[in-house]
Amino acid sequence: MPQFEYSGRDYSGSLVSGYVDAGTAADVAEKLFGDQVTPIEIKEASGKPEKKAKAAARSRMDIGPDATVIDKANAFFGLDKIEIDELIMFSRQMYSLTKAGLPLDRAIKGLEASMSNRNFRRILRDVIAGLENGNTLATALGQHPKVFSQLFLSLVHVGENTGRLDRAFIEVSKYLELEKSTRKQIKSATRYPIFVLVAMAVALGVITVFVIPIFSDTFERLGADLPWQTVWLINTSNFVLNYWPHLLITIGGSISGFRYWLGTERGLLSWDRRKITLPLAGPVFEKIALARFARTFSMVMASGLPIVQGLTVVAGAVGNAFVAYNVHKMREGVERGESLHRTAVAAGMFSPLVLQMIAVGEETGNVDDLLEEVADFYTVEVNYDIKQLSDSIEPVLISFIAVLVLILALGVFLPIWDLNSAAQG
């Protein structure tokens, strides 16, 4: 059996390479997709990689040696980010062009000329170069894993193999539209709390730095006995004024440490496990992940992707490392020959509704249709819960503000009242 050398990118976008014994290059590609690796180049081990293939393997963040100063500045400040709206439009246009029977290279060249995003145009030029080098569309798109998700690539891969590439792109556009709607609802629900918290932080900063020191000097000159609320406010203000560089370093270090911890596999898994148990917001995060699981699994099953490979794709699309971990355990159970329903029960994260739908789907052979119904149900639930979340957070914020105002009012005005009473007496 011949040996093939491959290079590709895993789900995190890291470049990986190695050797695989297989009958054909197509078998190697199928195995890599099953291992959640997007192949960039597959060739027999005896040859040397071509320079063009190496150049085409650049990730999205590597803008290339021919990039202009504007391209480098946009990449540095994150202004070249490809938004989900652009991916939706790209998917819809590719659906129309492939359905009309236009060759892929001509279709993508036309889209590349009409793109306003400079980075997206550069990526499409790389995709065209990959197609001209003989790569499949999924492989060419897979050179940019930070732009095209594993689900996107897997559906395109299945569409190419089944001759239904147009269907793959319309399914991708539907999924991206639902994802956009979910993100918009989350932003809408968190906009008000974030605004209130930022306003409170600014107000507290102004009071601590500018207002309290003035009152502190006044009280010190008068030599009055101060209540504990005032003493606490003055000590807090003095601490901030005297040690603000240390506070900034501590806050910056804490944020950097937290981001580094989230960048580790163990840290992200632990955080996502805790996130779905948070009060108020935890159930919303959990239902969003389960809705993504059901929607994505329905799509990959309907596309004809093997269930083991499909579960790998689903794990990369749920957006929660803890849920993804359980999906990977489901895949391992299926690989051992267990039924999908049994592995889902063993995962312990699915509601009775999902388990029942999976069981009925396995019996009737309609897992994809029933999971789509589950996804629709969870989508409605998420919409309702997000609205309820806004209503639930508001009294919590009001109570928090009331406590702060009470402390500030007592700390500032109690000494004034005491001084006024003493002067009148």
**Is 109 found in the same domain as 193?**
no
Give the model's pLDDT for residue 250: 94
Cβ atoms of 234 and 216 within 8 Å: the answer is yes
More confident residue, 76 or 110: 110
Range of the domain at 70: 55-148
| Position 286 in a domain | yes
pLDDT digits (tens, 9 = 90+) for 402-420: 888 887 777 777 777 766 6
Q: How many CB atoms lie within 10 A of CB 282?
A: 13
- Assess whether 216 and 67 both reside in one domain: no
Q: Which has the higher per-residue pLDDT, 108 or 303?
A: 108
What pLDDT is recorded for position 80?
63
CATH number for 201: 1.20.81.30
The reply to whether 153 falls in a domain is no
Residue pLDDT, tens place only, 362-374? 888 888 888 888 8
Domain membership flag for residue 85: yes
For residues 285 and 422, membership in a common domain is answered with yes
Domain boundary among 90, 114, 148: 148
Same domain for 128 and 170: no
Tell me, yes or no, whether 155 lies in a domain: no
- Flag whether 136 is in a domain: yes
Which residue, of 9, 31, 49, is where some domain finishes? 49
CATH number at residue 8: 3.10.20
Does residue 157 lie in a domain region? no
Picking from 212, 203, 200, 220, the residue whose alpha carbon sits closest to that of residue 239 is: 212
41 and 94 fall within a common domain:
no
Q: Is 359 helix (H, G, I), strand (E, B) or coil?
A: helix
Element (H, E) at 309: helix 307-317
> Do 16 and 60 reside in the same domain of the chain?
no
In a shared domain, residues 25 and 109: no
Residue type, 236: T
Domain boundary among 148, 173, 192: 148
CA distances from 178 to 169, 275, 288, 295, 379 (A): 14, 22, 11, 10, 9
pLDDT tens string 79-93: 567 888 899 999 999
Contacts of 276 (CB under 8 A, 6+ apart): 282, 283, 285, 286, 289, 320, 322, 323
| 52 pLDDT above the threshold of 50 | no
Q: Is residue 156 part of a domain?
A: no
Say if residue 243 is in the same domain as residue 372.
yes
Query: Which one has a higher pLDDT value, 61 or 364?
Result: 364
DSSP string of 165-221, one letter each residue: HHHHHHHHHHHHHHHHHHHHHHHHHHHHHHHHHHHHHHHHHHIIIIIHHHHHHHHHH
pLDDT of residue 75: 55
Cβ partners under 8 Å of residue 189, min gap 6:
386, 387, 389, 390
The more confident residue out of 238 and 416 is: 238
- Determine the pLDDT at residue 71: 55
Q: Tell me how far CA of residue 196 lies from CA of 130, 207, 400, in angstroms.
A: 49, 16, 11
Q: Are residues 231 and 310 in the same domain?
A: yes
The lowest-confidence range among 58-62, 304-308, 313-317, 326-330 is 58-62
pLDDT of 78 reads 54
Same domain, 197 and 140: no
User: For 137-155, how does the pLDDT look when each residue is reduced to its tens digit (9 = 90+)?
Assistant: 888 888 888 888 877 887 8
Kindly state whether residue 69 falls inside one of the protein's structural domains.
Answer: yes
Count of structural domains, the chain:
3
Same domain, 216 and 143: no
Q: Domain check: are 143 and 225 in the same one?
A: no
Q: Is the pLDDT of residue 125 over 80?
A: yes
